[in-house]
Every structure is written in structure tokens, then in C-alpha cells.
Amino acid sequence: MVCPSATCVVILAALLPLATGCVSHVARLEPVRAAFHRGDLAEAERLLARDAGQHPEDASVIALDRATVALAEGRPADAERLLRGVRDEFDLLETADPAAGVMMLARDDVAAEYAGEDHEKVLIRALLAVANLLQDGDDAEAYALQVAAKQRAIVLAAAGEDGTNPKASYPQVAFGSWLRGTIREATHRDYDDAARSYAELVSWQPDYPRGGELLERARGGHHSARGHGVVQLIALVGHGPFKADAVEVPSTVSLAIAGDLLAGPFAGTLPAVVAPVRIPRLLAATGIAAAVDVAVDGQPRGRSETVTSVSRLALAQHEAVLPTIVARAIARRAVKSGAVFGVKQGLGLDGTLPGVAVDLAGVAWQASEKPDTRCWGLLPDSIQVLRVELLQGDHRIAVSAIDVGGRRFGPIADVPVTVADGRTTYVLVQATDAGIIGQPVAGGRGPGVN
């Protein structure tokens, strides 16, 4: 017998009601993404608020998208509150016992609380730093430090007893190092710290074209010329990655991992030939916007450049753990098949009409499985930056979206800033298919001592 019949009966009784026809998260997310990327932030927020009321089990992942909308609307305090709540929730879920028994393995992932993807856990800290900078900036450096700390913790936690680590090759979120470097540089004294952060940035994002320039300036102990200050433009550009329901053919590696997962009551249930399984696949759809063009007081000052490619790092991380994702789907199918077989055998239903009914219920149970497509759906394709040194005083910064061909499109947003001697002002903009959307916001001037 594959498993004790009483256990199998309990599993079937508990899990068959989960075979519902509810709409998947990705289907609900599609109109939200469409509204956001055409610049209709009010509609995006309305849809998210509706989903939050109808799907409280998805509160955390919905809050991430609402935080992105809040940043676009120029509400950094609301964004910080939402992001901090999700960060704490994800951290709490990481402390839960991962070996919760057969029931946890048999349940579809959509039935569990969403614990966040690795790239999401790190990017929460990055955008927390941005949201805080646009206010008083008191906690921005702490958030920036958390970016690197969280990355290290995620990788270390994945190390196996045999020395293997599927996450060792993870690309890193270099934006946190860039941000800490700019904050340290703006103190006019901690240039060594700034240089170390910029060196980390260069190692993690070697194709960032300004890396050498940042290092040279920090090592030279220079922030800005006397009577000048700095504007640091941060641009969230394009469409970020999202999850979709996909079919995957199991690999040898996935089958081996599935065998390990099935150790215990369901050991030996893995079939000799495993059919393709449904999984959540992370996909990229970068959109039209490629960068942001900047003019100051009517004079061109450059274009934003990528310091972190969100889509690229998220997809690379997804591919690194894909065998485990597939293995869970294989193991889940094996557990369900084993449970059905155990019920029939335990109750002596083989070859009977009730046995056929149990078989049909088992087929329905397996067919009802829905991959967990929950994700932070309003992330950008890339985080880009541009540094502009300006004479102290009032200025008007004009920002417009540009496509891959360098053509401007959409509305031009006008951002008034007051530049203080020796200080750094941060400006946040978001560029999507509609061009610059929402309300660009400026803030975060720290003490200057030129």
C-alpha cells in the first residue's frame, strides 16, 4: 500500500473542495497591467482595491502593486508603508517550517500564503529606499544596506549539505550599491564607503557605463563644485516580468529532486514515465519605453542608463530554480495519484463502481491544479539613473520617455527642483508605453558642507 488509507481519505476530503474554477491571479493582473502601462493609474488602483477586497489571501502581492501605483502617483509615504508591511510578512513566512508534512506537499501552491520570489524580496528593499529618500531619507541607507544583506542571506540559505547551491549563480541587484554610494558620497566625508559601494556596483553590473566615473569621483573625494549641487534622477522604465501558466517537460534533474521530496510516506510513488506538468513560468515583456531623456532649463543633459535590469535578473533567478519548481509539480501529482490509489486499496474499491467514482474524483483533483501565478506584476523592466550637477538655485527638469530607437514619445513631464549647494536631490519618474506616467516627485536633500 502506498500510504495509510486513513491519511489518504483525509487528504482527499480536505483537498477536493480546492478544485475550484476561480480566475487565476495572472488573469486578474492583466487589466491592472494594461491600465498602469497606459498611464491610467486611477483605474489600476481601483482594480487592485477590488481584488484586495475579493481575494484577501493575496493581500501581500496586491500590496506590492499598489505600492508601485503609489510611487507613480507621487505618494512615497503610502508606498513605503505598503512595502514595509509586505517585507515583514515575507520575512515571517521564511521562518515557517518548510516540512509541514504530506498535506503541504499535496496542496496546490495557490492555497498557501504567497511568500514572494527571491528577486521580489530584494527589490522591496530597493524601492523602500527610494520611497524613503523622497521623504526625509532617514532610513534610506538602512534599506539600501538591506538589499545586499538580503541577497546574501537568500543565497546562503540555499546551500545544500552536498555543497551544491542552485542560487549561487544569482545575478545581484546592483541598484542598492549605487544608492548607498550616492548617499555616502553626499556626506562629503565617507568617500571610502562610497568607493566600496561603487566597486560592488561595477562587479555586479559591469555593463553600467558610468561605473568607472563613479569610482574615480569617490576615490578623488569629490561630490560637486562649490556653489553646485547634484540631481540624481531615478527612472523605473518599461514592463517588468510576470508569471504565466505553462507546461514543462520534466528533466532528469527535476525527477531526482522530486524523488527527494517524496521521501517518507509517499516514497516510491514517482512513476517511471512522467508526463509534462503545469508550472508558473516567469516571462518578460519589456514594453516600448527604453530610457528617459532629460533636459534642464531647456538644455539637453542626457539619458538615463540601466543600473539594474529587473527582467534579466528575475529571469536568470527563475531559470536557476526551475528544476525545483518542476520537481514540486511532479511530486504533487505523485502524491495525488498515491492518495487516490491508497483510498481505493484501503477501502477495497478496486474494480467497483465506487472505485470508478474515486478515480474520477482523482482525475478532477489533478486536472483542477492551478500553477501559482501570483507575482509583483507592476515592477519595471529596469531601474535607470542619471546624475546631473547643477548650479544652486531653482531649475526646471523636463523628462520624456524614449524608445529603443531613441525617439521621444508621450507627454513631457516638468519637474521643478531647488538645488542646494553641496546637496543631492532625488527625482523619481516612471516611463511606460504611455510615456512618463503619474506624478514625478523630487525630494531627499541631505546636509551639504561644500
CB 239 within 8 A of CB 287: yes
Strands (DSSP E) found in 54-199: none
Q: Is residue 427 pLDDT above 80, yes or no?
A: yes
Predicted pLDDT at 66: 98
Predicted pLDDT at 97: 55
Predicted pLDDT at 252: 82
Whole-structure pTM value: 0.86
pLDDT tens digits, one per residue of 273-313: 567 888 899 999 889 999 999 999 999 999 999 999 999 99
Q: Is residue 339 pLDDT above 70, yes or no?
A: no
Predicted pLDDT at 254: 83
Question: Where does the pLDDT of residue 182 fall: very low under 50, low under 70, confident under 90, or very high at 90 and above?
Answer: very high
Question: Where does the pLDDT of residue 218 fall: very low under 50, low under 70, confident under 90, or very high at 90 and above?
Answer: very high
Predicted pLDDT at 289: 97
CB 125 within 8 A of CB 176: yes
> Which residue has better confidence, 350 or 259?
259
Question: Where does the pLDDT of residue 330 fall: very low under 50, low under 70, confident under 90, or very high at 90 and above?
Answer: confident
Main-chain dihedrals φ then ψ at residue 233, nearest 5 degrees: -85, 130
Please report, for residues 44, 287, 434, the alpha-carbon distance to residue 40 in angstroms, rounded to integers and kept in the order given. Answer: 6, 16, 9
Q: Is residue 188 pLDDT above 70, yes or no?
A: yes
Q: Cell 524580496 sits at which residue?
A: 121
Q: Is residue 393 pLDDT above 50, yes or no?
A: yes
Question: Where does the pLDDT of residue 18 fall: very low under 50, low under 70, confident under 90, or very high at 90 and above?
Answer: very low
Q: Is residue 337 pLDDT above 80, yes or no?
A: no
Q: Is residue 15 pLDDT above 50, yes or no?
A: no
> Which residue has better confidence, 414 or 251?
414
pLDDT tens digits, one per residue of 32-46: 999 999 999 999 999
* Domains, the chain, ordered by start: 5-443 (1.25.40.10)
Predicted pLDDT at 415: 94
Q: Is residue 78 pLDDT above 50, yes or no?
A: yes
d(CA 121, CA 126): 9
d(CA 73, CA 224): 31
> Which residue has better confidence, 347 or 369?
369
Region 73-80: mean pLDDT is 96
> Which residue has better confidence, 31 or 255?
31
CB 237 within 8 A of CB 382: yes
Predicted pLDDT at 229: 95
Cell of 86: 509586505
> Which residue has better confidence, 261 or 72?
72
Region 323-329: mean pLDDT is 87
Average pLDDT of the chain, as a whole number:
85
Edge-first strand listing for the sheet containing 408-419: 299-303, 291-296, 393-402, 408-419
> Which residue has better confidence, 40 or 329?
40
Predicted pLDDT at 110: 61
Predicted pLDDT at 285: 87
pLDDT tens digits, one per residue of 355-375: 555 545 555 555 556 788 999
Listed range (279-288, 397-406, 430-439) with the worst mean pLDDT: 279-288
Q: Is residue 104 pLDDT above 80, yes or no?
A: no
Listed range (20-29, 274-283, 339-348) with the worst mean pLDDT: 339-348
Listed range (108-112, 253-257, 267-271, 430-434) with the worst mean pLDDT: 267-271
- The SS3 of residue 430 is strand
Q: Is residue 103 pLDDT above 80, yes or no?
A: no
d(CA 388, CA 190): 21
Q: Which residues contact 162 (CB under 8 A, 6 or more apart)?
A: none
Please count the other Cβ atoms lying within 10 Å of the Cβ belonging to residue 261.
Answer: 19
Predicted pLDDT at 2: 44
- The SS3 of residue 410 is strand
